[in-house]
Amino acid sequence: MRELGRIIERPRLVLALVVILLANGLLFLREQYEKDFCLDLDLPTGGVIFFDGSLTVTREEVDPRAAYRRYTELLDTMRDAPLPEAQRALEEEKETLTARLTGDESRDEDSLDYVAVNNLLKKVEYLAGYGDWLAGIERNKENLLTFSIFNDPDSFSGRNIIKTAEEFEKLRGVELSLVSDGAVGAFMSFRLTDYLLLLALLLVVLSFLEERKAGLWGVVHATPRGRLRLAARRAAILLSASALGVILLYGTDLLIGFTVYGGYGDLDCAVQSVETLGRLPMITSIGGFLLRFLLLRAAAAFLTGLLLWLMVAAVSNVKYTIVVAAAVLAGEYSLYTFLPVQSALNVLKYFNLFTYISLADLYVNYLNIDILGFPLGIRSISQFALVPLVLLLAALCIYVHCHKKPAAGRDLLGRAAYRINSLADKALRRLHIFGMELYKALWVQRGIIIAGLLIYVALGLTYKVNIAVTTSEEQAEKLYTAQFAGEITDDTFASIDAEQHELEVKISAYEEAQAAYSEGSMEYPEFDRLGREASSAKIKSAGLKNVRARCEELRLRGGEEGFTPWLIDDTPFESVYGPAAEANQQKAALTALLALTLLLAGCGAYERQSGMTFLLGSTPRGRGALLLRKLLLAAVMTALVWAAVYGMELYTLLTEFDITAWRAPAKNLPALPDFPFRCSLAAALALLYLCRWLALYSAAALVLLISSLVRRLEASYIAACALMLLPSLLWAYVGIEFLRPLALILPIEAAPVILSSGGGIAPYLLWLSALMLAAAASILRLFYVSERRGHRRAII
């Protein structure tokens, strides 16, 4: 099997497959954490809300891992209990816990218990109600057939109703059990594996085209074993790759799922015990279902692989194969996703490549489609079509491999590409050096994809956090701050004092009422009302006092330091820039840095890889002038990345909050008492965004330097990503503290350094200056080597 050896000896392919495998496992695990282990963590609402405002006192969040442990313990105790009994017990427990959590007597453990009980109850309700659900289908049939539009036994509707009832009738005797079904549920819902398998198969299929890339197609085609035998071997390799891919990728998911959720021991229970698979009209165990699913998955993967192979093999030019494959996949995906179920063309939706890619859909949904008036299950169609389709496609692939001529001349796609190139040339010839540099970065080096992904990611990033208010007093303070926000004048104090007086009146009214009530001159309802009002007023009063103290402090400082005192509601700024939003800031900075690195890392290396260095060096504008354009390009790219990421952040700030204090001096903000510049809040924010642009541009200059030192594009991307991102990642996510000074995301984020207790504006400016100095040194070095090109040696 030399062909197999040739394929698996390609380090890039093996590396890519290993990366896919690792990414799949990690992302599967990550999803379980992100989905809170498939638990509903909501707690019952209640408690005293003093104000009609957006702020409410929040309860501490439930730890999903601890909650899942509690859920499993509870499940084990209930496992052997009859379902109605278990349901009753859980309902009672839920009621007790709800009362405790909404009252004043809740214990720390109650939240965990409530989540466990609530989730288990939902599961038990499903299991206990399954028989009724089946009976409902039968009742539904009887009811629907009484209507004239459904009772024609020769119509699709009539046949569909009867078929559905017959299929689920078989499940009547199936005994459902309380099982730990998290693993199977997560396995069936994690769709990324389907696409990663598709990617792996695409890589294997593309490796079949190596001979075309290497210019050996004609040679291979001319050998006695280069046609039928080679094609048959490749089909066998694809089959093996499909089976192995399924075992490794889906096996990893299952292994991680069972490790996280448990449930090995439940494999012999009925498959309908798993809620996700409740609509599967098939009598089998969970283990039997998984085995059957994996076998079909492997066959479907082989079918998908064959289709990909056919697409790419039918196109002579390797470059166009990706375009063709992408176009076909996009078309199929559009049909699969956007075609309505009720459409007359819904055959195209279900008899589709993506049906075989997202195979799990066939098992979690029950649907019959109209084929010439007969209802046919989408699962049955896909399963029965699998074998003939595999045979047909394998034969077609082998036929194309054997009969496609390597030297058949320019084909239709080639002619079309030439025509497109001629149109592009018309536009490109108008461009000057900068335009061409932009074209190279965005089009030739596929920067446009990075830019598109950046915008997609930037739109999906979270830019604000909800500021948790843990006490009622704090809640009151926040709301009074919002109420009295504005320039602090004598009127402000007068308003605060008036409000304070009203509160004190309520408090003293209650004190008087106490005496009156004990003397019997006041009825209990009136006394109770005054009591509740006084209780609320005490909390409000404490919050208001804090607000007054802050106003006094600001007026004093304003007088000393010469700024106009303003009471500012800092919730918007805390939500977006404050310590609570640091994780958001990190993600935004990492996104910006990664995008910028990928956009610019090819700039210098592409010249070297193309062997253009000496040629450019011999032209009058190929040295300093060209470098200036590259630096300008870096500035434009920086602006693009900056606008995408931080533009979205600013948009969030402006649209989510109603900020009126833009003119207020920045020193009034509680987080910026030592802000060294006497400027408004708007100017301070502008300064923050300017600093971020400068930090990003400095990083861009470093990327240009790295790129100029590297000979190959891939090496440049790897080196730039490693040097620019790795220290930040290791510091932020692994906690290696000594890498903090090298973490470039910090000067880009800016806010966390400025606002942290150990930071401040001065250390930040020092940090930014150091980065800008490094960037200036990089630019000088770039100018030096570009003017004296001969001195430059690639280091990688």
- 403 vs 426 by CB, closer to other proteins: 426
The answer to whether 313 and 208 are in contact (CB under 8 A) is: yes
Considering beta carbons, is residue 198 or 785 the nearer one to other proteins? 785
CB of 414 to other proteins, least distance (A): 9
Site for other proteins in 436-455 (CB under 8 A): 436, 440, 443-444
Stretch that binds other proteins, among 327-335, 433-441, 464-472, 486-494 (CB under 8 A): 433-441
* Eight-class DSSP state of 739: G
Q: Between residues 406 and 617, which has the closer beta carbon with respect to other proteins? A: 617
Longest dimension (CA), the chain: 115
Q: How far is the CB of 327 from other proteins (least distance, A)?
A: 20
The CA angle 620-622-625, to the nearest 5 degrees, is 85
Residue closer to other proteins by CB (options 21, 616) is 616
Closest approach of other proteins to the CB of residue 434, in Å:
10
Shortest separation between residue 209's beta carbon and other proteins, angstroms = 15
Shortest separation between residue 618's beta carbon and other proteins, angstroms: 4
Specify the residue, 224 or 620, whose C-beta has the smaller distance to other proteins: 620
Phi-psi region of 565 (alpha: psi -120 to 50; beta: other; left: phi over 0): beta
Query: What is the smallest separation between the CB atom of 442 and other proteins, expressed in angstroms?
Result: 12
Residue placing its CB nearer to other proteins in the complex, 386 or 417: 417
CB of residue 317 to other proteins, shortest distance in Å: 8
Smallest separation, CB 613 to other proteins (Å): 7
* Residue 409 in contact with other proteins, rule: CB under 8 A: no
Pairing of strands 374-377, 368-371: antiparallel
CA dihedral 493, 495, 498, 502 (to 10 degrees): -120
Nearer to other proteins, 626 or 661 (CB): 626
Residues in contact with other proteins, shown as a per-residue x/- string from 624 to 663 under the rule CB under 8 A: xxx-------------------------------------
The three-state DSSP-derived secondary structure of 490-527 is HHHHHHHHHHHHHHHHHHHHHHHHHHHHHHCCCCHHHH
Write the burial class of residue 89 (CB in 10 Å: 0-12 exposed, 13-18 middle, 19+ buried).
Answer: middle
Q: How far is the CB of 223 from other proteins (least distance, A)?
A: 23
Task: Indicate left, alpha or beta for 750 from its phi (over 0: left) and psi (-120 to 50: alpha).
Answer: left
Q: Give me the least distance between CB of 401 and other proteins, in Å please.
A: 23
Residues 6+ apart with CB under 8 A from 652: 463, 464, 576
Distance CA 589, CA 642 (A): 9
Is the CB of 9 or the CB of 425 nearer to other proteins?
425
Alpha-carbon distance of 506 to 679, in angstroms, equals: 42
> CB-wise, 138 or 411, nearer to other proteins?
411
Place of tokens 């280091």: 795
Touching other proteins, residues 569-608 (CB under 8 A): 606
Binding flag, residue 430, other proteins (CB under 8 A): yes
Distance CA 703, CA 719 (A): 9
440 vs 692, which CB is nearer to other proteins?
440
At its nearest, how many Å lie between other proteins and the CB of residue 211? 17
Cβ-proximal residues to 98 (8 Å cutoff; 6+ apart), any chain: 44, 114
Selected from 195, 418, 456, 651, the binder of other proteins by CB under 8 A is 418
Region 97-156 residues binding other proteins, contact defined as CB under 8 A: none
Tokens matching residue 103: 């009252």
CA gap 525, 52 in Å, rounded? 23
The correct pick among 80, 105, 175, 425 for binding other proteins (CB under 8 A) is: 425
Least distance to other proteins, CB of residue 122, Å: 56
Q: Could you tell me which residues come within 8 angstroms of residue 552 by beta carbon, excluding any fewer than 6 positions away?
A: none
* Shortest CB 69 distance to other proteins, Å: 56
* Torsion (CA) 730, 735, 738, 743 in degrees, nearest 10: 50
DSSP-assigned letters across all residues of 709-721? T-SSHHHHHHHHH
For other proteins, the closer of residues 2 and 429 by Cβ is 429
User: CB of residue 412 vs other proteins: minimum separation in angstroms?
Assistant: 16
Work out the burial of residue 757: count CB atoms within 10 Å of its CB; fewer than 13 is exposed, 13-18 middle, 19 or more buried.
Answer: exposed
Residue 605: alpha-carbon gap to chain centroid = 31
Q: What 3-state DSSP class applies to 377?
A: strand
Q: Which of 563, 548, 578 is nearest to 667 (CA)?
A: 563
Residue 49 or 625 with smaller CB distance to other proteins: 625
* Residue 790 found at the interface with other proteins (CB under 8 A): yes
Contact code string over 291-330 relative to other proteins, x by CB under 8 A: ----------------------------------------
403 binds other proteins (CB under 8 A): no
Minimum distance from residue 429 beta carbon to other proteins (Å): 4
Count residues contacting other proteins (CB under 8 A)?
A: 39
Draw the binding track, 736-775, toward other proteins (x: CB under 8 A; -: no contact): ----------------------------------------
Q: Interacting stretch for other proteins, rule CB under 8 A, among 47-55, 223-231, 234-242, 421-429?
A: 421-429
- CB of 446 vs other proteins, minimal distance in Å: 10
One residue of 59, 221, 545, 789 binding other proteins per CB under 8 A:
789
Tokens of 350: 């279900």
By CB under 8 A, is residue 19 in contact with other proteins?
A: no
Q: Euclidean distance between the first and final Cα of the chain, in Å?
A: 35
Among 15, 18, 216, 424, binds other proteins (CB under 8 A): 424
Is residue 422 part of the contact set for other proteins (CB under 8 A)?
yes
DSSP per-residue string spanning 636-679: HHHHHHHHHHHHHHHHHHHHHS----TTSBGGGSTT-TT--S--
Confirm if 187 and 274 have CB atoms less than 8 A apart: no
Q: Are 483 and 69 in contact (CB under 8 A)?
A: no
486 vs 353: CA distance, rounded Å? 61
Helix or strand (DSSP H, E) at 211? helix 210-213
Structure tokens given for 690: 């300017």
What residue type is assigned to position 447 of the chain?
A: G
Binding mask 605-624 for other proteins (x = CB under 8 A): -x---xxxxxxxxxxxxxxx
Work out whether 433 is an interface residue with other proteins (CB under 8 A): yes
Residues that bind other proteins (CB under 8 A): 418-419, 421-422, 424-425, 428-433, 436, 440, 443-444, 606, 610-626, 787-791
